[in-house]
Amino acid sequence: MRVPVYYIAILLFCSSLLLIIQTATAIDTINTTQSIRDGDNITSSGGNYVLGFFSPGNSKHRFLGIWYGKISVLTAVWVANREAPLNDSSGVLRLTDEGILVLLNRTGSVIWSSNTSTPARNAVAQLLDSGNLVVKEKGDHNLENLLWQSFEHLSDTLLPEMKLGRNRITGMDWYITSWKSTDDPSRGNVSEILVPYGYPEILVMENSIVRHRSGPWNGLRFSGTPQLKPNPMYTFEFVYNEKEIFYRYHVLNSSMLTRLVVTQNGDIQRFAWISRTQSWIIYLTVNTDNCERYALCGANGICSIDNSPVCNCLNGFVPNVQSEWEMMDWSSGCLRRTPLNCSGDGFRQLSGVKLPETKTSWFNKSMNLEECRNTCLKNCSCTAFSNLDIRNGGSGCLLWFGDLIDIRIFVDNKPDIYVRMAASELGM
C-alpha cells in the first residue's frame, strides 16, 4: 500500500517541529547524555549569555568560556580552563552521572572539572540569563540547592548579582583575578578580594602585596571609594551576617550591560556597553591617583593629592626618619610627638578622610558614639574610634589598635575619626 505524499510531508513537518521544540526547550541546558563540542554553543533563555569555545585576542589556544550573547564584540566574562588551554578544537564539555562538569581534550583526558562535592541523582547543567553556569538536580529551581555554580569561581569580571566576599560556613572566597594578557586568560598577578579580618574591606593585591584598599563600609559605600554613589545604572550592597560577607551590585535596567573588571595593571574598571557605537566605555576607574597607593605615607601619615608633597604626618605626629622624609621617602611613617600615658589621654577629631586600615580593628554594631569613645579609653592599646555606620546620624562602633595605616583626604567623607592623643597635645 502506497502512502500518499502529503501524509509523508505532514509526518516530516511534525517530526521537524517536534525537534525544533525540543531544541528550543533545551538550548540553555545539557544533561548527562549530551555534550558541547568546539563549534557548539548553548545560550541562556533570554539570549543574554553564550557558553562555548573561543580564542581570546590573537591566541590560537581554545578556552571554554561565557560571553555576552547580544553584542557585536566578543567579551568573555568567565573562563573555565584558565590554566589549561586547549591546543586545538578537540575540546568537549560533558556532565558526568555524578553531576560533575568535565572538559576533555583530544586524548579524553580531563583538563578541567567543576569538582562538585554533592552527589547528584539526575543532574543537568544550565546557563542562566544572569550569566551563571549552574549544575543542579533536574526540575529543582531553588538556587539555594545548586550543586555547583560558576558565580562561585570567578575569573576577572564581576557581573551583576555575583558576590565578592566569603562564605563563612565553608570558608570559600569569591574574588576576581586579572588575565595575564589580552591573549591569555590564565591567572595574572592582580586580584580584588574582600578580606574578612577585623572589619572587612576590599583589597587590590599584586601577588601578596597590597596595592589599594577600599576602606571599610560606612553604611552607604566603602569610605575609600567616593565614586561609589547612587547612579542611574546600578545599585550596590554590602552584606555581613552569620553565613557570608559580600559586596555585590544590581542593574536597574536589565537591558543595560555593565561589568566590573580587574586589569593587569591593577586598575578596577567599570565598563558600560554603548549600543550606538557598538563599544564598551569606561564608566569609572578605582585607584586613580597617587594617594590611592596603599600606605604611601607610612604609619600615621596622611595623603592629600592637592598638596605638594602629598604626604604629611597626622597632627601630633612627626616623621620617624626625618632625613628620609626630606628625600620624599615616606615609607618609615610617623610617630607620636608625645607618648600616650593611657589614663590622661583624649581624642582629636579628624574629618573628611578615608578611614585607616581595619585589619586589626574591632567593631560593635549596636554601640553609640559615646559608648564607643569610652570603650576605646578603657583599652590602652586603642588608638582611634569612629561610628561604624553614617546613616541616620551615625551608629555602631569601630575601634583601631596600634598604628593608623593608609589615611587620605576625602573632603566630603563621613564619618569622622577620633584619634587618641596625649592630654598635652590636645592643649596645643
Q: What percent of the chain has pLDDT over 90?
A: 84
pLDDT of residue 154: 97
- Asked whether the predicted pLDDT for residue 309 surpasses 60, the reply is yes
pLDDT of residue 3: 46
CB 102 within 8 A of CB 93: yes
CB 154 within 8 A of CB 163: no
- Asked whether the predicted pLDDT for residue 152 surpasses 70, the reply is yes
> Which residue is associated with the grid cell 576625602?
410
Q: Residue 4: which pLDDT band, with cuts at 50, 70 and 90? A: low
**Mean pLDDT, the chain, whole residue set:** 92
CB 135 within 8 A of CB 116: yes
Question: pLDDT for 20-50, tens place per residue?
Answer: 433 334 489 999 999 999 999 999 999 999 9
Starting at the edge strand found earlier in the chain, the sheet holding 173-174 runs: 173-174, 164-167, 244-251, 234-240
Mean pLDDT throughout 381-388?
A: 97
Domain boundaries, the chain: 1-150, 154-288, 291-426
- Asked whether the predicted pLDDT for residue 2 surpasses 70, the reply is no
Q: Residue 6: which pLDDT band, with cuts at 50, 70 and 90? A: very low
Question: pLDDT for 256-294, tens place per residue?
Answer: 999 999 999 989 999 999 999 999 999 999 888 999 999
**In this structure, CATH architecture of domain 1-150:** Orthogonal Prism (2.90)
User: Are 1-150 and 154-288 the same fold in CATH?
Assistant: yes
Nearest to 145 by CA among 133, 155, 136, 132: 136
Mean pLDDT throughout 333-339?
A: 96
- Asked whether the predicted pLDDT for residue 414 surpasses 80, the reply is no
Nearest to 203 by CA among 226, 176, 228: 176
Mean pLDDT throughout 173-184?
A: 97
Q: Residue 144: which pLDDT band, with cuts at 50, 70 and 90? A: confident
Sign of the four-CA dihedral 187, 37, 103, 165: positive
Q: Residue 403 corresponds to which cell in the numbers above?
A: 598604628
The pTM for the full model equals 0.89
Let me know if 291 is exposed, middle or buried by CB neighbors in 10 A (0-12, 13-18, 19+).
buried
154-288: CATH number? 2.90.10.10
Q: Residue 428: which pLDDT band, with cuts at 50, 70 and 90? A: low
The H helix count followed by the E strand count for the chain is 4, 35
- Asked whether the predicted pLDDT for residue 156 surpasses 90, the reply is yes
Q: Residue 60 corresponds to which cell in the numbers above?
A: 590560537
Question: pLDDT for 56-71, tens place per residue?
Answer: 999 999 999 999 999 9
| Strand-pair category, 407-409 with 301-303 | parallel
Question: pLDDT for 93-134, tens place per residue?
Answer: 999 999 999 999 999 999 999 987 678 889 999 999 999 999
